[in-house]
Amino acid sequence: MISKFQGICAESGAKIKKGDPIYFDGLAFCSYSNKYKKLNEIDDLAKFVESEQSAYFDNFCLKNNI
């Protein structure tokens, strides 16, 4: 999510500027916080797995004329 207001990170205390990437669940977490990094890592892994599954399915369809 992109910050619409200035604020302070709930975990690190760093300043959050308008337009900075944040994670928000009632509290704002800046991109330097461990919580933001952990969730970003999970999203990247999910995208990787999805792309691998799509490639496998596309290859299967090509081999079996589907």
Cβ neighbours around 50 below 10 Å, total = 10
Is 1 a member of any domain? no
> For the segment 14-56, what is each residue's pLDDT rounded down to a tens digit?
999 999 888 888 888 898 888 888 888 888 888 889 999 999 9
Kindly report the pTM of this predicted structure: 0.59
- Number of domains making up the chain: 1
Phi and psi for 4 in degrees, rounded to 5? Answer: -100, -10
Report H helices in the chain.
Answer: 34-63
Q: Are 29 and 11 in contact (CB under 8 A)?
A: yes
* Gyration radius of the chain over CA positions: 18
Q: What's the confidence (pLDDT) of residue 36?
A: 83
- The residue range of the domain holding 58 is 7-63
What pairs with residue 28 in β-bridges? 24
Is 15 a member of any domain? yes
Is 2 a member of any domain? no
